Structures are given as C-alpha cells and as structure tokens.
Amino acid sequence: MVLKLDDKGQKFIRLITWHQMWVSSTGNNPGTLDINGKVQRSVTDMSIRRSRFLIQAQISPRFMILSHWGINNQSFINGGSAGTLGTGASATGQGGKRPQLYIHDAWTEFAVKPGKLHLGAGLHYWNGVSRMSSHSTLNFMTLDAPIFNWYNIETTDQFARQLGIYAKGQLGRLDYRLHVNKPFAFGSSLSAVTSPSAVNVLNENWSTGGYINYMFWDKESNVLPFFVGSYLGSKKVFNIGAGWYSHKGATASKETPTATVKEHTQRNLGLDLYLDMPLNKKKGTALSVYSVFYNYDFGSNYLRNIGILNLHPSAQPVSTDPKTSWAGGGNLQPTIGTGNIWYTQAGYLLPKLKNGTSFMPYATYTLKKFDRIGQSSGQVDLGMNYFINGHNAKITLQYSTRPVYTVSSGNPERNGSKGQLILQTQIFL
C-alpha cells in the first residue's frame, strides 16, 4: 500500500501489515508437566506467531525512515503482561493476555552514492553472517525460520535487531551490508560467573558484522534489509554469500571454583548458497533451494535450548523421572551454541491450477553438532504451501522433528525424537 506525496512518486509512504496464525499439535518432551502439574505427553494450541505493521517513508530519493512494530508469539499461556502463571493450582491463567507491543525496526538512512553506498543508524536489521540472518518473515519458503539463523535471538538483540550504524549497497553484482553495533546488555556480571560452560555476561563492547553475496543472475533489491525466501518463479536468482559477526567479551566461563573467570569473544561465521528460478513459465513451475553452513563460537560449551511458542510454563518444573528431557519441557531443543550447523531447504512449485492458486511441497534437513553435546543430530521438516495469492495469502502445513536428550552421567545423551504439526494462515497487505 503506497501513498504518493508528489506527482513523480519520489516522495511516498509505504504501509505493510501482516498476521501469521498458528494451530499446532506438539509432542512434548519427556517429563513435561501441564499448568496443573500433571504429566502431559502432547498439547494443542491456537496462537499468533506474528502480528506486525511496517511504515517506510521516502521524503526524497536520498532520505528514508523506517518504523516496524508489532507482537510475536502469543499463545493461551505465553506472551502476556497481565498476571503470572504460578505452579499447579496456583496458576492465574493470565499469562497469555495483552502481549507487549514493541518496536522491531527504527532507523533512518541517507544515500551517499545512490545504489552504491547508503549509511543508516538506529535499531536495524542489516545483519551479518548469512542471508537467512536478515530474512523477511513475509515470504519464507518454509513455515518459518529455523531460529539458529538469528544467532543472538533475545539475548544481546531485540528480536534479531541491535542498535548501530550500517553501510549497504551494490557494486555491480556484489551486494554488501556492514555494521557496527552496540549490543544490548544481557547476562550476569563477570564476578557472578560460576559455570564451566560459557554464559552471557554484561559488557560495553561494540560488535561488528557483515554479509557479502555475489548475484550471478538477476539482481535482488536491497532497498530494505529483508531477504526474500522464494520468488515463486518471478525471478531467476543464483547467489553465493558469506558473512560474520564478532562481539568481544560477550560470554565468560569459570572452569573450576578456584579458577579465574575467562572471557570469550563471540564469533559467528556463515557461508550460503541460494537458488530460486522458474522451470516452466507457462505452467508456473519453479525451484527454490537454500543451503547454509554456520560455524558458531560463543565460548567453551555454550548452548541454548529454545522452543518457539513453547506451551510448557517456564515456572513449571519438569517431572523427576530419570528419562526427563535434558533440554526442558514442551518443545525445547538445543538450538544455538558453540559448534557447527548445516541447514538445507528445497521446494518445488507445482503447476498453477485453473483458479490461479498453486501448491509447493518442500523439505528441510538440519545437521547440528554442538560442543556441549558432543554428538551430531539430524532433524527434518516436511511441508506444503498453498498459495491463494502468492505470499500475500497462503496456508502452510508443516511437520517437524526435533531431537530429545536425557541425562546420563551428567551429560546429555540422544534419546529419540519428538514431532510437531503446525497449520499456518498468512495474509499480508
């Protein structure tokens, strides 16, 4: 939706709004307890994955301002600011109501050399490391992102954003984005660190990052930072990219109670390949493939267990059964940590139907090997998109697996897997 402010269209305000709704059925991790303290093997829910509003204002060809706000992850139990969930019968049941509305992006930009060099500042999404680290949430080829693509998610960032200064542009077929950021303060003080595994600590150091990719075929727009997931045959794109992120003193560890605290520099590296192309324009078929390799170093044995829209109350302990999940209750799983991750997704857009709609089956494979766990684990997603009006109106059904770990001799050990089925409706204007 564009409101033109002059006859030439050089001054305008662009508005975008979207909702992503989930209906899910989740196989819980072993030992999960429900809000009443009873063992719960599976759970269903209706939730709001994202509800957003974005405004891009171009007051001249050389000046731009962008504002983006909304909510994320509201379920019947999560996302609310009114009331808290207690344990068992003392739960108030108000934890999901009135989620916090907050700013995602707030930045201004000046075109030093239009198209080639733009400088901006604010709370921004011009991230380094990989294409998927700056991915649009409007046009995923899959249901959602794998989450580990946002390496700082809800630690030293604000939902994948940090305050900073960035430079971006395109030099021929070379697309680049670079940033110097001031990460948000997150973690404990250095003096409070007692863990032999690295943990986030408070510091005042700036971070640096960047992502550079070469566009072999069609050029992509970089007016906004949001990379497209799939063009559904409207473009022929083949890119290879690489990026990094570095933050000195982001974490720390203490090997023994009498040892000195050791600070660690967070270093994240990524190398990826993106292919999206039409196969038969007359029939409307297309192929989309993305593959990325991450090497993450947060310090010795750093690991985070994350579960999107996890319906296990955070205040609720898991059961004391010896087969209880090491990661925690609900759909928590080892997601981000020191180690390597290889992720690949591929989808095939089927011929358009007579009514103009189309289906796109897809599959993903993730191979993780975190130092804290020691052993590698694989998991898959299988899904189907139904495009009613491209990405503007679509329905997605996806089944995902995740590894389950239990504790043996103090160490996490793989003990099977669990699954989750999600149906998403998306409309954006």
> For 301-332, how does the pLDDT look when each residue is reduced to its tens digit (9 = 90+)?
999 999 999 988 765 667 767 678 999 999 99
Domain that holds residue 156: 30-42+124-428
Torsion angle, alpha carbons of 163, 144, 335, 401, to 10: 180
Return the pLDDT at 89.
36
Mean pLDDT of 113-136: 98
Domain count along the chain: 1
Residue 71 lies in a domain: no
Q: For residue 140, how many other CB atoms are within 10 A of its CB?
A: 23
Return the pLDDT at 411.
77
Residue 354 lies in a domain: yes
Span of 283-287, 393-397, 412-416 with lowest mean pLDDT: 412-416
Q: How confident is the model at residue 92 (pLDDT cuts 50, 70, 90)?
A: very low
Residue 9 lies in a domain: no
More confident residue, 387 or 80: 387
Residue 147: give its domain's CATH number: 2.40.160
Residue 53 lies in a domain: no
Q: How confident is the model at residue 98 (pLDDT cuts 50, 70, 90)?
A: confident
pLDDT digits (tens, 9 = 90+) for 155-185: 999 999 999 999 999 999 999 999 999 999 9
Residue 1 lies in a domain: no
Residue 97 lies in a domain: no
Token pair recorded at residue 193: 């660190």
Q: How confident is the model at residue 9 (pLDDT cuts 50, 70, 90)?
A: confident
Residue 48 lies in a domain: no
- The answer to whether 32 and 40 are in contact (CB under 8 A) is yes
pLDDT digits (tens, 9 = 90+) for 186-212: 999 999 999 999 999 999 999 999 999
Return the pLDDT at 156.
98
Mean pLDDT across the chain: 93
pLDDT at 252 over 70: yes
Return the pLDDT at 78.
84
pLDDT over 70 for what percent of the chain?
94
Mean pLDDT of 345-360: 98
Helices (H) and strands (E) in the chain, counts: 0, 20
- Which of 392, 272, 269 lies closest to 339, judged by CA? 269
Return the pLDDT at 312.
82
Residue 67 lies in a domain: no
